[in-house]
A = this chain, B = another copy of it.
Amino acid sequence: MKNSCFKILKRDKNTKARIGVIQTKKGKIETPFFMPVATKASVKHISSMDLNEMDAKAVISNTLILHLRPGEKLIKEMGGVGKFMNWKGINATDSGGFQMYSPSLYLHSTEEGVWFKNPYEARKVFITPEKDMQIQLDLNSEIAMCLDTMPLMEHSKEQIQLAVERTTSWAKRCKQEHDKLQSKISQNKRQLLWGITQGGIHSKLREKSARELKELDFDGYSIGGLALGETEEQEMKMVKIHKKIIGENKPCYLMGAGNPPEMLEAISLGVDMFDSRFPTKCARHGTIFTSEGRIRLMRNKYLKDKKPLDKNCRCFVCNNYSKTYIRYQLKQQEAVGYRLASFHNLYYLQNLIKEAKRAIKQGKFKEFKNKVQKEYKKGDRDKK
């Protein structure tokens, strides 16, 4: 039996928050961590040098998108997605299951696999669980994801049940193929594989998905199909169900979550990994994360504001630029505005995670979480 890649170093006494470490073929990474989204092997407006500067430890790219262009064979020749983008941190890859949510890419799926449109050429692309594993191995990421079947929020319970069943069936095929492909690779060079639970916000279905995937003994587990518009209460309920079944000894990844108060809530339930476009998308629209909550930079009140985005932030953006300047650049749709705001929001999240870890170590996580969540409620005053 293979060794566990995950070790818990410190547990919070008042919540399920923990500090852990995942051993990957590229080295160790401490949990919890947040992964900026590098779909096409780059984060929007943010280079891998910038990621180093903000002390990010991992990014997540997209298997389907990279398969379409430039193709996994090219990336393999370049030494894998990490070398391709010159990134010294950990690379995770999502399977492409999420793109079943994208009307511009998704056609339909069968028990065998998924048909996608190729937006670059007049041909369709058929992705099976087996093919997905081969692509992710070629991409040479440290952490791969199973191909899951992604139900839409508005789907009926019956449809979501079918998605859960297919996700389990594909997870088995992913596991089998992944084991086969890696059978000749030594333990310390193995790519890790995460199973993804589905089930929408239906307790029984989420439970069923978790139970079925647990049997397959993945290296880690992702919670899929959330952070898509459900309430935070519904979301956290699903996290709890997932965690209860999967247990505490596997890394837990809440896919798509990147809102500061939401992340802290999830950490308190024992979530270890996050990714989201939310911080960079927010940034481009002038929604800025700060130690005093979220601000809406495009409001008139910031027209003449010489102060940095966040007076308590030490990122290069806050050290060098005023709200007025960044606001103007965003208003003019200038790339520099997108870049500065994106860098700050991502830096903020990296720093938030650091502070969360410090609080866990000091046994003060709950106070820390409550404090930040309170600020975020206040910050939303800008909404009005």
Contacts and interface: CB of A to CB of B under 8 A. Distances in A.
Interface of A: 40-49, 69-70, 74, 77-78, 84-86, 303-304, 306, 316, 320-322, 324-325, 328-329, 331-332, 334-340
The 10 closest A-B pairs by CB, nearest first: A42-B336, A45-B335, A86-B320, A70-B328, A42-B334, A40-B332, A47-B336, A42-B329, A44-B335, A86-B321
A49 B47 CA distance: 15
A84 B336 CA distance: 14
B48 A324 contact: no
Given A49-B320, A340-B47, A40 B329 contact: yes
Nearest to A44: B335
Contacts of A84: 322, 324-325
Nearest to A84: B325
16 contacts: A40-B328, A42-B335, A44-B335, A44-B336, A47-B340, A48-B320, A74-B324, A77-B304, A78-B304, A78-B306, A78-B322, A78-B325, A84-B324, A84-B325, A85-B325, A339-B339
Contacts of A332: 40, 69
Nearest to A85: B325
A43 B337 CA distance: 11
Nearest to A42: B336
Given A40-B328, A40-B334, 14 more contacts: A41-B329, A44-B334, A46-B336, A49-B320, A69-B332, A74-B303, A74-B324, A78-B304, A78-B322, A84-B324, A86-B320, A335-B335, A335-B339, A339-B339
A338 B339 CA distance: 12
Nearest to A332: B40
Contacts of A340: 47
A216 to B, nearest CB: 35
Contacts of A43: 336
A309 to B, nearest CB: 13
Most central of A49, A335, A339 by chain B CB within 10 Å: A335
A315 to B, nearest CB: 11
A329 B85 CA distance: 10
Contact of A69 (B49, B316, B331, B335): B331
A336 B47 CA distance: 6
A104 to B, nearest CB: 15
Nearest to A46: B336
A92 to B, nearest CB: 19
A262 B328 CA distance: 34
A86 B335 contact: no
A325 B41 contact: yes
Most central of A43, A303, A320 by chain B CB within 10 Å: A320
A304 to B, nearest CB: 6
A336 B74 contact: no
Contacts of A329: 40-42
Nearest to A50: B336
Given A69-B332, A339-B339, A316 B78 contact: no
A40 to B, nearest CB: 5
A49 to B, nearest CB: 6
